[in-house]
Amino acid sequence: MQTHEQCRVDARIEAVCTKGCNQVRQDIAALEAGVQLPETRDLSEEECRTLLRELKQIMAVYGDTCRLPPS
């Protein structure tokens, strides 16, 4: 059984992932830079770290197929 916090994180992951591969990569970069996303503004710091970690795991499956161009 999932905790309330895990359900909140899972819902946000689904919301972020609906944006598409390139936007998810941009959102990961923003989260790594400490930027709050609309999907994360009511999450705790721990929940944000969990969301970021899980987004990275999800995107690792795609490898370089939708990497952000170097800045």
User: For 19-63, what is each residue's pLDDT tens digit?
Assistant: 999 999 999 999 999 999 999 999 999 999 999 999 999 999 988
Residue 50 lies in a domain: yes
Residue 31 lies in a domain: yes
pLDDT (0 to 100) of residue 63 = 81
What per-residue string of b and e applies to 6-20 under the rule 16 or more CB within 10 Å gives b? eebbeebbeebeeee
Contact 2, 33 (CB under 8 A): no
Residue 68 lies in a domain: no
Residue 51 lies in a domain: yes
Please tell me the total count of domains within the chain: 1
> How far apart, in whole angstroms, are the C-alpha atoms of residue 66 and residue 3?
32
pTM for the structure as a whole: 0.86
Smallest Cα–Cα separation from 24: which of 61, 47, 1, 58? 58
- Whole domain around residue 12: which residue ranges? 4-60
pLDDT (0 to 100) of residue 2 = 77
Six token digits for residue 7 = 């359900």
Residue 71 lies in a domain: no
pLDDT (0 to 100) of residue 8 = 93
